[in-house]
Structure formats: structure tokens, C-alpha cells
Amino acid sequence: MTARQMTEGGWSRRGVLAGLLGAPVLLLAACESGSGGGSGGGAGAGKAAGSPAPRSSAAVITVSPADGTQGAPFTAPVTVTVAAGTLGEVTVTDQSGARIPGRLAPDGTSWTTTAPLSSGTRYAVAASATDKDKLVAAADTAFTTATPANTFVGYFTPEDGSTVGVGMPVSINFSKPVTDRKAVQQAITVLADPGVEVAGYWYSSTRLDFRPEQYWAPGTKVTLKLRLKDVAGAAGVYGTQSKDVSFTVGRAQTSVADLAAGTLTVTTDGRVSAVYPVIGGSPEHRTWGGSMVISERFTQTRMNSATVNLGDEYDIPDVPHAQRLTTSGTFIHGNYWSPASAFGKANTSHGCIALRDVKGAGDPGTDAARFFASSIAGDVVQVVNSGDRTVDPGNGLGDWNIGWADWKAGGAL
């Protein structure tokens, strides 16, 4: 090429220098391309050709119940075991996220729940383990426990949120006979505030009552804690309840019916608040003696002798101001059919205690109406000088007719 061509073609000194400086750039780019691993390597290849695949942990985790199990037994624990390794963290949680506690074996190869499972509940299990080379294995499983086919419940007295008299026991009647009384009683707690010892007594396989040694103190807050869910009351029969029931003890009112004197003396908060003339049971139908607790109250109710095995001796559709004292049918109630002169003078009833009243229960000034208005469920009526034996404690809420030592001996704990 001539000098003219070099000048006219733009080959100045600057152009030649630029051309020389560009060569290393091309060379550098070529070197970077070669560092990508060659054929098929690409910039994302992370290991050299021929490198071994990562090894898996030799630890093998087994969970029981197995993953996906439906109807797993809720009476059995969850177990997690590992072969060729040592367990790390294990968690079991229920469907609400609550964690079930457990214990790891000293050798680190097994883990077992230490609290009971619940029926009809989904559980999730997460476990990890390491082998001798510190490689980690993991297991995540889930299962659902069975719902029992045979169940029982406890029907309790008094009602939640109620205000009761100082003599009201906690009485629980079970829907099916209980054979494991200890297990059932352990699942029931009665707490008092202010605190006082409360003990249980089994009247039968279907009834368990609780009370303190003496009447409750006025103002006491009592809480019944039923934790019967999944407790085996009998073989294959499980409880379903897990709930708290609370009630309050009101003012202290107790009454003494002296059927020799023909009087009902009412004491409220330590002082005599009223004395009423009454009619008690006749010599043929004497009133039970002993302490009885008002369990039900009716402004008016029907009383029929056939319901207490006395044939057709009476059928009164509108007995006023009636309050139940025994299951068998003893009431303290108003009476409008006997002459006023009979009250306090003669015992002529079929076993009930009667106070003067009017038909229709419409007069608040009668003795029966006044006593009814002053009473609440849980008040105690003690009958003395009736000429009959003490009422069976289980006939109503007659718990106070059992001495404290005998009462405590009647529990299962």
C-alpha cells in the first residue's frame, strides 16, 4: 500500500494505535470463554466432569403410627426410632399447633410421647437424625387418631354460673356405669376460693358427689374441672368432656323443721330471720329425718300420689311454692286446702312439710310465699323429731348425713 493510500484510508498514527490496543481485548474475551468448561459446560456448571454425587445419610427414621394412618389408637404413644444413626429434634403437634411432650432414650435411638393423645385428632410428626458421618436424615409424617364408638358423659349439678346455698354439693351422674372409679375421679377436680379441702364420694357406679367437711362459706367461688375426654370409665367406654363449670355460694341460710313443735325456724347469715308454723308427715306417712338440700323450685306444680307409690290418695294440679328435698318426692311446699288451725298443731301430710298458702300462689304475704322468696337451691332444711329414720343420703342431695371420715372413705383415691 502506498503512503497516499495509508493517508487517504485513515491510517493515521492514532488509527494504528487503536488497532493495536484492540487485540488484547479480543484475546481476553477468548480466554474468558475458554474458562467456562469447554464443550457444553456453560457458565452455570458447578463441578468438574466426573465428580461423585452427594451421599445420602445412612440413618433410617421410622415413625409409629405410620404416615397417613387413619383411626390410629389414641391410647398408644407416638414412637420415633432410628437405625444407623442418632435422633436429633423430634416434634409432635396436634391440629391446633399444640406440642405433645416426649422423651428421648439415653442412647438417642428412640423417642416416645409422654402425654396422652386425643381421640379424633390429626397429628404431625417432624424428626431428624444423623449418621456416623454427620449426614442428616429427616422425616415428616401425619396421622389421625380414632374416635371411640362407646362414650359416656357426666351430668352435673349445680349449673354453670348459678348462685347456690351453702349446702349445695357437686353431684355428677354418669350416663353409663363406671368400673374404673379411680381413673374417673382422678379426671375430676373441684376447687374452692377461698380454699378448702373437697372430697369425693361414690354413691354408685353412676353417681359421684363432692363436698367439703362443713357447709361452704358464703361467697365461695367453686370450679368443677371435668377432664373426662378419652378417660376409660369402663372397658372400651371413654369420656367425651373437657370443660370447666363454676358457681358461687350465696348468703348462708339453713332451716330446721321441728315436727314435734310444728315449726320451721329459718336462720339467715347467723340470725333467726323467720319462724313459721308447719304441717309434717302423719304417723302413717312420717317425714324423713336428717338434712336435706333444696334441689328444685316450682312456683306451682302437680303432685300425684301415684308417682310416689301411694295409689290414688291425692292428685293436686297446682301445689304452690314447692321446693324439692328428696328424689323420692319429699317437698317443702305451700298448702291451701288444710284449715289454718292445722298449721303448727297437727302432722297430717303424706310426708311433705307444708306451710300456709293460697290457691294460685298469688299472695306474697303467705308463709309459703315468704319462705319460697327467701330460698335458693342449695339451702339446707334439717328435719328433727319427725319420728322416722334419717333419709338415705343418696335420696336427693343428702350428702351432709354422712360423717366426714366415712365420706372420704367412700372416694376412690
What residues are labeled active site? 333, 352
Name the phi and psi angles at 271, rounded to 5. Answer: -130, 150
Cα(390)–Cα(292) distance, integer angstroms: 10
Burial class (CB in 10 A: 0-12, 13-18, 19+), 93: middle
Cα(61)–Cα(117) distance, integer angstroms: 21
Q: Check if the beta carbon of residue 257 is closer than 8 Å to that of residue 353.
A: yes
Q: For residue 216, give the DSSP letter.
A: P
Beta strands in 285-365 (DSSP E): 290-293, 296-304, 315-324, 331-335, 353-356
Name the phi and psi angles at 7, rounded to 5. Answer: -75, -45
What's the grid cell of residue 79? 414412637
Which amino acid is residue 157, in one-letter code? T
Cα(333)–Cα(359) distance, integer angstroms: 12
Q: For residue 307, give the DSSP letter.
A: G
Q: Check if the beta carbon of residue 184 is closer than 8 Å to that of residue 231.
A: yes
Residue 294 sits at the vertex; the CA angle it makes with 359 and 265, to the nearest 5 degrees, is 75
Pairing of strands 170-174, 380-384: unpaired
Grid coordinates 292445722 are at which residue?
A: 342
Grid coordinates 323420692 are at which residue?
A: 328
DSSP H helices, 248-384, are 367-374
